[in-house]
Amino acid sequence: MEKPDPCDPSPCGPGAICTVHPVTGNPVCKCEPNKIPLGTTIQGCDYECRVDRDCGYDHECINFQCERKKDPCEPNPCGMMAICTRRGDNYDCHCPPGTFGSGYAGCQRVSSISITNYVHFSFIIIY
């Protein structure tokens, strides 16, 4: 007599796939691709997210999965020698101390110029 199929009917919840364990013969529930358990796979599986707000701070929903938002400063989009500062999903570029210019176009070092003050004295000698 043939053993009954433990996956018929499936004990798994919606979004889960039932397979038979090769050794024990017990049903094993696994989530469909890109889905996560809703507590347990017997309860079912669903997408981790559908929109960005499902993911929480500093994450975004990409292909139904929450992924850390990419840093807009990596790689540095600013001009030469400029510092990139993250501003939420955007960035700001500025020149560091000791430099000048536009952080977006590039910064240049400030040259230290020695200025010697020459004072010219005129003497009038009266005899």
For 56-70, b where at least 16 C-beta lie within 10 A, e where not — what string? eeebbbeeeebeebe
CATH 2.10.25 maps onto the chain at 70-111
Long-range contacts of 88-92 (CB under 8 A, 24+ apart): none
The model's pTM? 0.50
Tokens linked to 72: 């807009």
Per-residue pLDDT of the chain (127 residues; tens, 9 = 90+): 778 899 999 999 999 999 999 999 999 999 998 899 998 888 999 999 999 999 988 899 998 999 998 889 999 999 999 999 998 889 999 999 999 999 999 999 987 554 444 444 444 555 5
User: Given this structure, which CATH class describes domain 70-111?
Assistant: mainly beta
Q: Are 12 and 18 in contact (CB under 8 A)?
A: yes
